[in-house]
Amino acid sequence: MSHTIHWRSLWRLPFLALLLVVGLALTQVAEAQSDPQAEAATAVPALDADTWRQVRSGEVDAYYRDSRFDSTYNLVNASGESWRQWRNRWVSPYGLIVMGGMLVMIVIFYLVAGRKRLEEPRTGNKLLRWSALERTLHWSVATLFIVLALTGVTLLYGKHVFYPLFGAGIWGTMVSGSKLLHNYLGPLFGILLIVLLAKLFVHNLPKKHDLEWFRKGGGMIGNEHPDAGFANAGEKVWYWLLATAGIVVIISGLVLDFPNYGQARDTMQWANLIHAVGALGLTAVAFGHIYIGTIGTEGSLEGMTTGYVDETWAKEHHNLWYEEVKGETVPEEQIASRGKNDTAQGPAQSSP
């Protein structure tokens, strides 16, 4: 028997994977609630007699110090306090400033410049820009990125917002769910991102005309569109940010996700700071990427939803790529008829 494979069904794969991960996360919540003492016993090792004897004698090592007042001893983790100061005084507030500043700049730019519309009428002839596999990878990575950003922001800032609003019970559930989703979805995001980067590598190699694209501000300075191949210079910057800072965020996240491979406390603290700085920076830049790819530029979102872009859009925004593929245009009526035929055929049918 033969079967017909419909690429349109690929979107179900990341959705099913997400359901599986959520199911695993909920299972972990149930296990933690059923035996919270077991989790605490492995997460927070007890101080032994030798450690307290060292503190009372006044001898401290590079990691610990003690304070004495009226025979009261207070054991302080020096490196942990330094980590807390970096996190609370620098990473958290400046991360919020960077993300908020990016959103403000986008709003101001939209109010002043408005949406970048096509200068010429659409021709109705379409060019295939993104395959079904590439679109599936993109939306899977994008969805996971958004979920990880939301859960990460909740873990970093949520206590100051949701705890006063909803109280300890709801906030406890939110932070526990956010932590589990973040921990389980992080490795999946890392795998899919690496696959996507490998798939798009050849399109994002630097070219000489990229410098001219920057000099003209991507077409915002002057009246002419700068040369661009399949990916323009701005898209290449986003790609290489993901390929560098994104990989650093993934590696540091794995260090935090799997603390049972011999890494010391200092390593975990540094990984936490690096992870937060990289993730907050990428989230801020992602705001710009999302804006340009949706409401900021007419015709851009169509490419990633349908796979096709209008000939006019290709000519204006990626002229060098257009010159390479302009002989492959397809009338939009033909694409629409293909979609109707796929819908009419319904699910894949088996034939003897």
pLDDT digits (tens, 9 = 90+) for 40-98: 444 444 556 776 666 566 666 655 655 555 545 556 667 788 898 999 999 999 999 99
The CATH number assigned to the domain holding 137 equals: 1.20.950.20
Q: Which pLDDT score is estimated for 7?
A: 46
Q: What is the pLDDT of residues 227-241, one digit of tens each?
A: 999 999 999 999 999
Residue 141 lies in a domain: yes
| Neighbouring residues of 167: CB distance < 8 A, sequence distance ≥ 6 | none
**Residue 258: burial class (beta carbons within 10 Å; 0-12, 13-18, 19+):** exposed
Q: Which pLDDT score is estimated for 41?
A: 45
Query: What residue numbers bound the domain in which 198 lies?
Result: 78-344
Give the range among 69-73, 161-165, 274-278 with minimum mean pLDDT.
69-73
Residue 183 lies in a domain: yes
Residue 6 lies in a domain: no
Instruction: Provide the number of structural domains found in the chain.
Output: 1
Residue 33 lies in a domain: no
Residue 43 lies in a domain: no
Q: Which pLDDT score is estimated for 74?
A: 56
pLDDT cut 90: percent of the chain above it: 61
| C-beta of residue 307 within 8 angstroms of C-beta of residue 135 | yes
Residue 10 lies in a domain: no
Residue 131 lies in a domain: yes
Residue 58 lies in a domain: no
Q: Is the pLDDT of residue 31 over 70?
A: no
| Neighbouring residues of 336: CB distance < 8 A, sequence distance ≥ 6 | none
pLDDT cut 70: percent of the chain above it: 74
